[in-house]
Each structure stands twice: as structure tokens, then as C-alpha cells.
Chains A and B, each alone.
Chain A
Amino acid sequence: MDKGFLSRQQFPALYQVLSKAGYEVIGPTVKDGAIVFVPLAGFEQLPTGWQEQVSPGHYQLEQTAGQRCFYWNTGPQALKPWLFKPEQHLWQAEQTAAGLCFRQTPEQAQPRAFIGLRGCDLAALNIHDQHFLNGVLPDPYYQAQRQQLFIVAVNCARSADTCFCVSTSDGPAATVGFDILLDELETGFLVASGSDQGEVIIQQLPLAKAQTKQLSEAKQQLQAATYQQRVMPDEQQLLKLVDRLDHPQWQDVAERCLACGNCTLVCPTCFCSKQESHSDVKGQQAEQVRLWDSCFSEQHSYIVGKVFRPEISQRYRQWLTHKLATWQQQFERSGCVGCGRCISWCPVGIDLIEEAQALLQGEADDD
């Protein structure tokens, strides 16, 4: 993969080329005190100089004098809400003179280019592809959005205090699944293509040949990001969590957990949804709607006459054992990509790594 160099002054050319190619450009910006992905009117909206301070239960942005646009790691959301939408209209039912009829709600999709996705985001995307496209039924709504996706990834130049993507093998470098890959340096960007579509875009950029010094600067900052991280137990260790279903730690965490579901909302791989039926006042039209759901709600395991997981300890246990252990049997890898979102966005600062370690260190009680 040959890398070209795009100076900081010329970086907006990427926006122009993508727009001209017909893509709506979606990228990070500062909104309501967090970095979120929105349609960009231009690269001046990028979070230049912004960094985040994160720790368990804490996320705070701060403006620095720096010129970098990607010197932060994660906001609360990246791709997930664009492909697996918080509210998805599935199909409509109509009472007509001829009787009842059903039709699938068409999914409006347009070519979209996402700027600034990280290794962890792409790993999560790959998991969602497996879930939504490779299951019993390919999800037509996800599929429509996914087909029109163009990805400009960025290698992380630093790690946040909650990052642990090195231990899940998902970062800090983005290695697969992008069309264009950037390394952000002080003076500009190293640019490489990862697909034929990416190559077409790159050809139109005013790229200089990357110098050895720039290449080694990129390598060094990536190394530095690697060293700044915490460690999640490896997948083999995590599989043992299913032998710890009676561990007292579940009760311990349940005394802190509010069952608010924040962790499942910010998690880029959580995919639970529920369905609701909405109808108009006249009773002629009805619509089936799919909404994000969380295994932390009591309703999640409800059937008539029974809730399978009435206790918070049982719901936290379901989330953690699914994410880290049984997920491996479903998708041949853990459901955790090391982004640390669930740690910083937990209102009471429950730390996934600490919980996993506590569960694996203690002796399992007999069943």
C-alpha cells in the first residue's frame, strides 16, 4: 500500500473530491459537548484541536491549540446508528376495500462517505455485517445503507485512557474494511487507498510522495498509541466466564449497575432490537417499527407469565457473558472491539475490564 502525502492546507480537497463523486460526507464534529458524526458542510466543522479526557463514568472534551482534527479516539457513537438505525420502519399494513395488504417499507439510501472511523469502528462494522447480512435472513434495511458506504479510516495517533483495542486485536491501526486510510501528522496526512473506489478518489487528490521521515513519524505515533493501553483478558480466558455464572461478583456489580442500558447503546456491536406496531387514528394504516433495545431492561426477556432475567445481576451477567464469551461461539470472535465506550458512558463508572478481571480471578462457585 503506497502512501501519498496531503498537506493540511490541501486536506479540504478530500471533501471536494468526495462531494463531487456524489457522496454525502459524514464526519466528526463537536456538538453538545461530545464528538458526534454528522453530515458535514465542509472540513472546517471537523474537531480541530479537540481532545477528550475519559475515565470510567467520565467524558470531557477540551480545546487545545493543536491543529489536528483526529487527535481524539471515540465519541459516544460512530457508524452504528447510520446502518442499524435506532428507529427502523420495517413494513406497512393497510386495510383496503380489497382487504389487508402488506408492503415492505423501502429503505432510502444514498452514497455516504464516513471520515475518521477507527480500527475499533471497522471491527464493529465487520461484526454487524456478519450479524445483519450473513444470518438466516440478510437485513434489507442494513444492506441498503451498507452497500452505499465509503469509508475513510484514520489510524489512531494516541489512545484514550479507556482504550484497549490492542488487546482485542482491533487497533490502533485500521487494517481492513476501508476505502481510504489516513495517518494524521502535524503538517498533514499520509493517504493510502484500500479499495478500487478508494483509488479512484485518491487519484484526484493533490498528493505528494510521502517522505521517509513522514512515514516514520506515522509509525512512531502508532507505536505510542499501542503502548498507552489497558489490557482485556484474551479470548481463551474470556470463554471461562461461562463457568463463573454463580460468582459473587455478579451481585457486587448489580449493586452499582443502574440497568440504564447506556453501555448497550454506545456499544458499537450491540444489536438487540424490539418491534412495535403503530397505527393511524382511522385504523386503516399500520406500521411495524424496529427500535433499539437493551438486554438491561426487564421487558427484554419477557414472555407471557414470565420474565427470564428479573434481577439486574442476571441482566448484567447476560450482557457481559454474551459480549465476551458466548459471542465467540456465535461470531467466532468476542463482541468487544476495545473501544472503551461502555466504560466512559456508564453513569456509575462500571469498568468492563475490571469486572472481567474480577470474575476471572476469583474461584468459580460450584453450580
Chain B
Amino acid sequence: MMTDLLSKLQTPTKLQTPIVATLAEKQQESPGIYTLHLALETNSSFDFAFGQFNMLYLFGLGEVPISIMGWQHDLLLHTIRAVGRVTQPLVALDIGAQLGLRGPFGQGWPLRQLEGLDLVFITAGLGCAPVVAAIHYAVENRSKYGRIVILQGVKHHNDLLWQPQYERWRDLGDCQVLLAASEEKKRKYHWRLGMVTELLALAQFDSSHCAVLMCGPEIMMLAALKQLAKHQVSDKSVYLSLERNFQCGHGSCGHCQLGPYFVCKDGPVFHYPQIKSWFGLAGV
């Protein structure tokens, strides 16, 4: 009875026990937000999909799940907001410091499957790394996609990370960048006042031939889903990235469950129809 299960291949080390990552470069994106560039001990490429995450370990303090931002010059990029017991000392590390890394975990954005479609990115707040990573991919593979629409909401103008990048995206051609600030009193050039969901009225894309990629607070995504329905965007066109308590990263510890799903392994990126009946319910 046991032979099938026990004969399974040995677990790759980087998934069960951390590998060593060395901080090679660090840049501040805004107050409290840093991008860490990590050199991996394996000295080879790190196979991942945009939207997946790693567990980063700080010696003696523990692990935190962090979305993968990209791979650049043989370094793995993670953008981290210093908010907790582990992330605060993590972003304070000096160049050359070592940390542990397990991953990559979970399901990323199905960017290959979305080729040929208009892409609509919707994010709000500061923790929008999974969507920004997907934007990077789409921009690098510009010819494979139709129009690109980027909708970003923040509380204050200055909360927007990577402001120069947004300006560059605006100049890409066939790329619309729409920004909203919900708690500003004065409107700035290129900005709207209000919620990110209100930007959809200005967005120009083919609602019957598009994919929407979202992440951010669930209340924002719920509001966006309502607006998208008004704009005749089918549920089937929507993908979203969720946040839950991730401790193991591979669907074992049970903390991240959403109905029948383990968000860490079945997500964090979900096709909306898959989780529709569970998404947004209070206390689930």
C-alpha cells in the first residue's frame, strides 16, 4: 500500500530546507520599502514564474513569504515592505549579509496563455509586487500582447513605488497608465482623485478579448470585480493574487486555506471563476 507513496523522489532541498542567499545589492523604493537583489549559492538560474513567492529566512528570527519581483543580472529580486518582526531587520541587512531562501512556491500568472490579449493590471496599496512583476514581463514581451492598461491606486501620490517606471510605461505605445490617489486633496498631473476602481471608466481595452490581473486589498478587488462586470468583462478573464498566512509554502501547514484551496500551493494567483464562490466572504 505504501510503495507508491514512499518511492517518490527526494524533495529538492531548496523547497524543504533553505539555501543560502547573499544580499548583493539593495535599493530603497520609498520609505520602508526596499528591493533586495540576492545572489544564490546554487550559482545557476532560478526557475520561477511571475506571481510565485519565496520564503525568506532571517537567522534566528524566522521566515516570511515574499513575492518574486524578477531576475536581473543573475540576481533574484524581492521588493519588501518593512512591516513586521522579520521584514524590518530583513530590509536593514547590509550588503554581503546572508539569509535563507526556500522556493519558489505556488502558481504564478499564466502569462503565456494570455498572449494576444489586452492586459489590464489593477493594483492598490503598497503591496502590489506580484502585479508589478507581471507588468515587467509584459513590457519585456510587449509584442506578444495587445493593449496594456495599468491601473494603480494609492492613498497619497508619494506612496507610488517606481514612479519613473510608470512614466516609462506611459510612453511604451498602446499602453495606458492610470493613477488614482484616494486621500489627496489636490489633483496632480496624470492623477485622478479617488479609488482605483473609478479609473476603469477611463480604461480603453477590448473587454471581450482581455485578461485582468489584480492584487491588493480584497475589498479593492471586490469593488473592481463589480466595476469589471459593468464593463462587460467576463469572470473568465480575471486573475487575482491572494495573501494568506503562509508558513510551509506547499499546502501542508493548513494556515492559508480558503474553502477547499490551499492558497500557497493552489494560488496565490487564482483564476477568478475557480474561487468565486469563496472570495470576499467574511471570516472564511
Q: Which residues of A contact B (CB under 8 A)?
A: 90-91, 93, 95, 99-104, 129, 131-140, 143, 146-147, 176-177, 242, 245, 271-277, 279, 283, 286, 288, 290, 293, 295, 300-305, 308-311, 313-314, 317-318, 322, 326, 329-330, 367
CB distance from A159 to the nearest CB of B (A): 26
20 new A-B pairs (CB below 8 Å) besides A133-B6, A293-B255, A318-B284?
A: A91-B16, A99-B98, A102-B19, A104-B17, A135-B251, A137-B11, A137-B15, A138-B11, A176-B1, A242-B277, A272-B254, A275-B248, A279-B60, A290-B253, A293-B254, A295-B254, A311-B283, A318-B257, A326-B259, A329-B260
* CB-CB nearest in chain A for B19: A102
- Which A-B residue pairs are the 3 nearest by beta carbons? A314-B283, A279-B60, A272-B254
Q: State which of B57, B84, B248 has its C-beta within 8 Å of the C-beta of A93.
A: B57
B110 contacts partner chain A, Cβ-Cβ < 8 Å = no
Given A102-B18, A134-B5, A147-B2, answer yes or no on A277-B63 (Cβ-Cβ < 8 Å).
Answer: yes
B60 touches A326 (CB 8 A): no
One of B145-153, B195-203, B204-212, B239-247 at the interface: B239-247
Number of interface residues of B (CB under 8 A): 46
Give the complex CA separation of A99 and B59 in angstroms. Answer: 11
Please state if B2 and A129 are interface contacts (CB–CB under 8 Å).
yes
Instruction: Say if the beta carbon of B91 comes within 8 Å of chain A.
Output: no
Cβ–Cβ contact B18 & A93, under 8 A: yes
**Interface residue B95 (Cβ < 8 Å from any Cβ of A):** no
Interface residues of B (CB under 8 A from A): 1-2, 5-6, 8, 10-11, 13, 15-20, 57, 59-63, 83-84, 98-100, 243-245, 247-248, 250-255, 257, 259-260, 262, 265, 277, 281-284
Check if A146 sits within 8 Å of B16, measured CB to CB.
Answer: no
A125 CB to closest chain B CB (Å) equals 10
Q: In whole angstroms, what is the CA distance A364 to B20 when docked?
A: 52
Contacts of B84 in A (CB 8 A): 304
A188 to chain B, nearest CB (A): 28
Bound-state Cα–Cα, A317 to B6, Å: 34
Q: Is the interface of B mostly helix, strand, loop or mixed?
A: loop
Jot down 13 A-B pairs with beta carbons below 8 A, ordered by A: A100-B98, A129-B5, A133-B6, A138-B5, A274-B247, A275-B63, A275-B247, A277-B60, A288-B63, A293-B254, A303-B245, A308-B283, A317-B283
From B16, B62, B255, A140 is in contact (CB under 8 Å) with B16
Q: Looking across the interface, which residue of chain A has its beta carbon closest to that of B101?
A: A102
Nearest Cβ distance between residue A143 and chain B, in whole angstroms? 7
B217 to chain A, nearest CB (A): 9
Tell whether A304 pairs with B83 under 8 Å between CB atoms, given A135-B250, A135-B252.
yes
Q: Which residues of A sit under 8 angstroms from B13, Cβ to Cβ?
A: 104
**Of A100, A286, A322, which one neighbours B20 at CB under 8 angstroms?**
A100
For A146, list chain B residues within 8 Å (CB).
2, 6
Q: Which of A91, A132, A140 has the most CB of B within 10 A?
A: A91
B199 CB to nearest A CB, Å: 24
Which of A100, A293, A310 meets B283, CB within 8 Å? A310
CB distance from A316 to the nearest CB of B (A): 10
